[in-house]
Structure 1
Amino acid sequence: MTSRTPSLNPCTRPLAGQTAIVTGASRGIGAAVAVGLARAGADVVVNYRRNAEMAESVAAICRQHDVRALAVQADVSQAADAEALVQTASVNFGTPSILVNNAGIAHTGLLLDMTEEEWDAVMTSNLKAPFLCTKAVLPHMIRAQYGRIINLSSMWGLAGGSCEAAYSASKGGVIALTKALAKEMGPSGITVNAVAPGAIQTDMLENLSDEDLALLADETPVGRLGTAEDVAHAVTFLALPASSFVTGQVLSPNGGYIT
């Protein structure tokens, strides 16, 4: 299928004609991002690793916004799967113009208690997977001389989090990758940015008690925890054609928790 030229339609559907890939999009932030991009007019590939039913549900919600959407299984920490995911997007919807590297895992605990296998798992999911997906999509974007790559980091990638050394290190790596690649890809019309959320109400916080969640909200200057939609708004902004002068940046929707 041939590529469709990125559209500068009215503000209601500024991404009409574009193809977006969102990794880890069956739930939480990834699902909200997929729906947000669909609402803005993009056709969306909803990537998942295990839960086909949830991914199909997200794709169905995307299609309610009069776009095409497809749930695609892939373990994006594997090179062959990452390449197949991009190829599936290209064949079904046209040249991918937006890649959101969202898939990842969390790990909480003292560094002294962490095994080498646990460290490797965090790095593979959070840092290697964005590398593999980006490498797979770049030839398509370079040929088109257009692209938006948005990497999900964390405020702990900026500030470091106690008992989250591996997670913080992986997300800090995502930020460094973003800044370096933005310099590489600028001449090709491709922007590369990161979104570093704060405390967001997803299942990554399910290990916290209600008391801990209330304390976390109280410590956040805006007085609440973030939502997946708060993050999706930031991602959609960076995906816009009008954001062409924004690259190598880290947008951190964290309610003022860190500045």
Structure 2
Amino acid sequence: MSKRVVVITGAGRGIGLATAKRFALSGDLLSLNFHSSDDELAEVAKIAKDNGGDAIILQADLSVHEEAINFIKKTEEYYGRIDVLINNAGILQSKDAHTIEWHEWQRMFDTNVGGTWSCISTTLPGMIERKSGRIINVSSELGLIGFPTYASYCASKGAIIALTKALAKEYAPIGILVNSVAPGPIETDMLIKDTIEYNDETREQIPLKRFGQPDEIASVIEFLAGPGGTFMVGQIISPNGGTAI
């Protein structure tokens, strides 16, 4: 097979869905994970096939280690390998730090960090054997700068950034390139539900005076996975409209 095998977690909505559509148009061989929403993924699969590619759609709760492992193994069984792993699945919570319950903190880390690590650790052996691969972790601008009422989210995304840097240094010498995209406020379903962040006041604080769009992040992910990303190692690229400069 000459086409890339691309895994996208959290592909059912937002940034993940926009990313899936971009890779479908490129005719790649896609493995699309979703947790609860897959309404548009059948159309993405059709786009992939119409452009000479393919797509499988697999449900998994990546906060559960065994489900994440099975998702990756099913992909490898179907396509034989994974060339690009895009860890996008995640959750958001806004809450005063002193009121965060332990189970809420644990759920945040199980999903955002645990799911990412489970997919990476299961994918790495195949990439190591082939001495090639791209891993792109979707973190967040808030993992870089911190923000009130988002302590657990900031901590989890900061962990992904640190993990990205560590893996990049460890595996770049054998041809596996690990990078991260850290978006600012992007107009997704997840953000729209967050009334603390999604409002006119927040919009006015962004130098561009608007929220970002999922496809603007997908284009950065596509760049890192393609020919333009061949010298990118351990980079944290933050498309944020100027909110963190």
User: What TM bracket, shorter-length normalisation?
Assistant: over 0.9
Q: Does 1:157 align with 2:143?
A: yes
Give the stretch that moved more between structures: 203-212 or 140-149: 203-212
Q: Which residue pairs with 2:87 in the alignment?
A: 101
Q: Which residue pairs with 2:34 in the alignment?
A: 48
What's the Cα RMSD here?
1.8
Q: Which residue pairs with 2:5 in the alignment?
A: 19
Give the stretch that moved more between structures: 190-199 or 49-58: 49-58
1:123 CA drift (Å): 0.6
1:74 CA drift (Å): 1.5
Q: Is the 8 A contact 2:188 2:214 kept in 1?
A: yes
1:24 CA drift (Å): 0.7
1:127 CA drift (Å): 0.5
CA distance in 1, matches of 2:237, 2:19: 15
Cα pair distance change 1:224/1:120, threshold 3 Å: same
CA distance in 2, matches of 1:80, 1:204: 25
How many percent of aligned residue pairs carry the same amino acid? 38
Structure 2: which 5+ runs fail to align? none
Q: Which residue pairs with 2:61 in the alignment?
A: 75
| One-letter identity of the residue aligned with 2:91 | I
Q: Residues 179-215 of structure 1: CA distance to partner in whole angstroms, max 9, x if unpaired?
A: 0000111122000001000010001222355995332
CA distance in 2, matches of 1:240, 1:212: 32
Normalised by the size of structure 1, how large is the TM-score?
0.89
Give the stretch that moved more between structures: 224-233 or 57-66: 57-66
1:202-213 equivalence runs, <5 A? 202-208=188-194, 213=199
1:142 CA drift (Å): 1.0
Q: Residues 1-37 of structure 1: CA distance to partner in whole angstroms, max 9, x if unpaired?
A: xxx35xxxxxxxxxxx100000010111111111112
Q: Does 1:258 align with 2:222?
A: no
Cα pair distance change 1:166/1:120, threshold 3 Å: same
1:223 CA drift (Å): 2.2
Q: Which residue pairs with 1:28 in the alignment?
A: 14
Q: Is the 8 A contact 2:94 2:194 kept in 1?
A: no
Normalised by the size of structure 2, how large is the TM-score?
0.94
Q: Which residue pairs with 1:8 in the alignment?
A: none
Q: Residues 40-76 of structure 1: CA distance to partner in whole angstroms, max 9, x if unpaired?
A: 3321111012234443343334434331011111222
CA distance in 2, matches of 1:149, 1:211: 29
Give the stretch that moved more between structures: 34-43 or 207-216: 207-216
1:164 CA drift (Å): 0.1
What secondary structure is seen at the aligned counterpart in 2 of 1:163? coil
Q: Which residue pairs with 2:158 in the alignment?
A: 172
Q: Is the 8 A contact 2:64 2:110 kept in 1?
A: no
Choose the corresponding residue for 2:131, options 135, 145, 158: 145
Aligned residues: 245
Q: Does 1:119 align with 2:142?
A: no
Q: Is the 8 A contact 2:48 2:55 kept in 1?
A: yes
